[in-house]
Structure 1
Amino acid sequence: MKFDPEKIKKDAKENFDHAWNEGKKMVKMPTLNERYPRTTLRYGKAHPVYDTIQKLREAYMRMGFEEMMNPLIVDEKEVHKQFGSEALAVLDRCFYLAGLPRPNVGISDERIAQITEILGDIGEEGIDKIRKELHAYKKGKIEGDDLVPEISAALEVSDALVADMIDRVFPEFKELIPQASTKTLRSHMTSGWFISLGALLEREESPFHFFSIDRCFRREQQEDASRLMTYYSASCVIMDEDVTVDHGKAVSEGLLSQFGFEKFLFRPDEKRSKYYVPDTQTEVFAFHPKLVGSNSKYSDGWIEVATFGIYSPTALAEYDIPYPVMNLGLGVERLAMILHDAPDVRSLTYPQIPQYSEWEMSDSGLAKQVFVDRMPETPEGQEIASAVVAQCELHGEEPSPCEFPAWEGEVCGRKVKVSVIEPEENTKLCGPAAFNEVVAYQGDILGIPNNKKWQKAFENHSARAGIRFIEAFAAQAAREIEEAAMSGADEHIVRIRIVKVPSEVNLKIGATAQRYITGKNKKIDIRGPVFTSVKAEFE
Structure 2
Amino acid sequence: MDKKKLVKLAKKDFEKAWTMTSKTLHKPHHDDEYPRIHLKTGKSHMLYDTVAQLRQAYLNLGFNEAVNPVFIEEEHIYKQFGPEAPAVLDRCFYTAGLPRPDIGIGMDKIEKIEKMGVDLDDARIDGLKEVFRCYKKGDVSGDDLVLEVSQALNVKNNMGLRILEKIFPEIRELTPIAHKTTLRSHMTSGWFITLQNIHNKRQLPLKLFSIDRCFRREQREDASHLTTYHSASCVIVDDKISLDMGKAVSESLLEYFGFEKFKFTPDEKKSKYYIAGTQTEVYGYHPKLKEWVEVATFGMYSPIALAKYGIDKDVMNLGVGVERIAMLLYNQTDVREMVYPQTYGKWKLSDRDLATMLRINYYPATGEGRHLMNDIVTAFKEHGDTPSPCEFTAFEGEFLGKDIEVKVVEPEKGTKLLGPAAWNTVYINQGDIIGVPAKDVTDENALNALENGISTEITYMDGICADAAYKIEEMVVSGAGEVTLRVPISRSISDINLRLEDVALNYITSKNKAIDVRGPVFCTITCTLKE
TM-score under structure 2 normalisation? 0.93
Q: Quote the Cα distance in structure 2 between the aligned partners of 1:63 and 1:5.
A: 61
Q: Alpha carbons of 1:108 and 1:532: their partners in 2 closer, same or farther (altered >3 Å)?
A: closer
Query: What code does the residue aligned with 1:270 have?
Result: E
Q: Percent identity between the aligned chains?
A: 49
User: How do 1:75-224 and structure 2 match up within 5 A?
Assistant: 75-118=73-116, 120-224=118-222
Deviations 1:378-422 (CA, angstroms, capped at 9, x unpaired): 333222221121122222222222222211122344322222222
Aligned with 2:190: secondary structure? helix
Instruction: State the partner residue of 1:370.
Output: 358
Partners of 2:418 and 2:521 within 8 A in 1: yes
Deviations 1:361-384 (CA, angstroms, capped at 9, x unpaired): 100111112111222233332222
Query: What code does the residue aligned with 2:347 have?
Result: W
CA deviation after TM superposition for structure 1 residue 459, in Å: 5.6
Pick from 305, 311, 322: which aligns with 1:321? 311
Q: Alpha carbons of 1:398 and 1:167: their partners in 2 closer, same or farther (altered >3 Å)?
A: same
Pick from 60, 63, 67: which aligns with 2:58? 60
Q: Alpha carbons of 1:496 and 1:237: their partners in 2 closer, same or farther (altered >3 Å)?
A: same
Deviations 1:18-52 (CA, angstroms, capped at 9, x unpaired): 43333323322123333211111243222211121
Pick from 505, 523, 528: which aligns with 2:519? 528
Aligned with 2:209: secondary structure? strand
Q: Does 1:510 align with 2:508?
A: no
Q: Quote the Cα distance in structure 2 between the aligned partners of 1:383 and 1:121.
A: 68
Aligned with 1:216: secondary structure? strand
CA deviation after TM superposition for structure 1 residue 227, in Å: 1.0
User: How do 1:331-370 and structure 2 match up within 5 A?
Assistant: 331-353=321-343, 356-370=344-358
Aligned with 2:374: secondary structure? helix
Instruction: State the partner residue of 1:296.
Output: none
Aligned with 1:352: secondary structure? helix
Instruction: State the partner residue of 1:444.
Output: 432
CA deviation after TM superposition for structure 1 residue 490, in Å: 4.6
Partners of 2:92 and 2:182 within 8 A in 1: yes
Instruction: State the partner residue of 1:277.
Output: 275
Partners of 2:266 and 2:277 within 8 A in 1: yes
CA deviation after TM superposition for structure 1 residue 491, in Å: 4.4
Instruction: State the partner residue of 1:405.
Output: 393
Instruction: State the partner residue of 1:240.
Output: 238
Q: Does 1:287 align with 2:285?
A: yes
Instruction: State the partner residue of 1:395.
Output: 383
Q: Quote the Cα distance in structure 1 between the aligned partners of 2:99 and 2:36.
A: 55
Query: What code does the residue aligned with 2:509 have?
Result: T
User: How do 1:9-88 and structure 2 match up within 5 A?
Assistant: 9-88=7-86
Partners of 2:436 and 2:449 within 8 A in 1: no
CA deviation after TM superposition for structure 1 residue 521, in Å: 1.3
CA deviation after TM superposition for structure 1 residue 118, in Å: 4.3
Partners of 1:119 and 1:161 within 8 A in 2: no
Partners of 2:204 and 2:237 within 8 A in 1: yes
CA deviation after TM superposition for structure 1 residue 274, in Å: 0.7
Partners of 1:75 and 1:184 within 8 A in 2: yes
Partners of 1:94 and 1:184 within 8 A in 2: yes
Partners of 1:262 and 1:287 within 8 A in 2: yes
Q: Does 1:467 align with 2:458?
A: yes
Q: Alpha carbons of 1:169 and 1:67: their partners in 2 closer, same or farther (altered >3 Å)?
A: same
Q: Quote the Cα distance in structure 1 between the aligned partners of 2:477 and 2:67.
A: 69
Query: What code does the residue aligned with 1:457 have?
Result: A
CA deviation after TM superposition for structure 1 residue 205, in Å: 4.2
| Unaligned segments of structure 1, at least 5 residues | 293-300
Instruction: State the partner residue of 1:419.
Output: 407
Q: Quote the Cα distance in structure 2 between the aligned partners of 1:252 and 1:15.
A: 72
| Unaligned segments of structure 2, at least 5 residues | none
Aligned with 1:290: secondary structure? coil
TM-score under structure 1 normalisation? 0.92
Partners of 2:35 and 2:355 within 8 A in 1: yes
Query: What code does the residue aligned with 2:515 have?
Result: I
Q: Alpha carbons of 1:456 and 1:344: their partners in 2 closer, same or farther (altered >3 Å)?
A: same
Pick from 228, 231, 248: which aligns with 2:229? 231
Q: Alpha carbons of 1:7 and 1:318: their partners in 2 closer, same or farther (altered >3 Å)?
A: farther
Q: Does 1:496 align with 2:487?
A: yes
CA deviation after TM superposition for structure 1 residue 426, in Å: 2.3
Query: What code does the residue aligned with 1:424 have?
Result: E
Partners of 2:434 and 2:449 within 8 A in 1: no
Q: Alpha carbons of 1:488 and 1:5: their partners in 2 closer, same or farther (altered >3 Å)?
A: closer
Partners of 2:199 and 2:237 within 8 A in 1: no
Aligned with 2:213: secondary structure? strand
Pick from 406, 412, 422: which aligns with 1:434? 422
Pick from 443, 457, 466: which aligns with 2:449? 457
CA RMSD for the aligned pairs? Answer: 2.2
Higher deviation after alignment, 89-98 or 164-173: 164-173
Q: Quote the Cα distance in structure 1 between the aligned partners of 2:303 and 2:529.
A: 97
Q: Quote the Cα distance in structure 1 between the aligned partners of 2:472 and 2:3.
A: 37
Instruction: State the partner residue of 1:295.
Output: none
Aligned with 1:319: secondary structure? coil
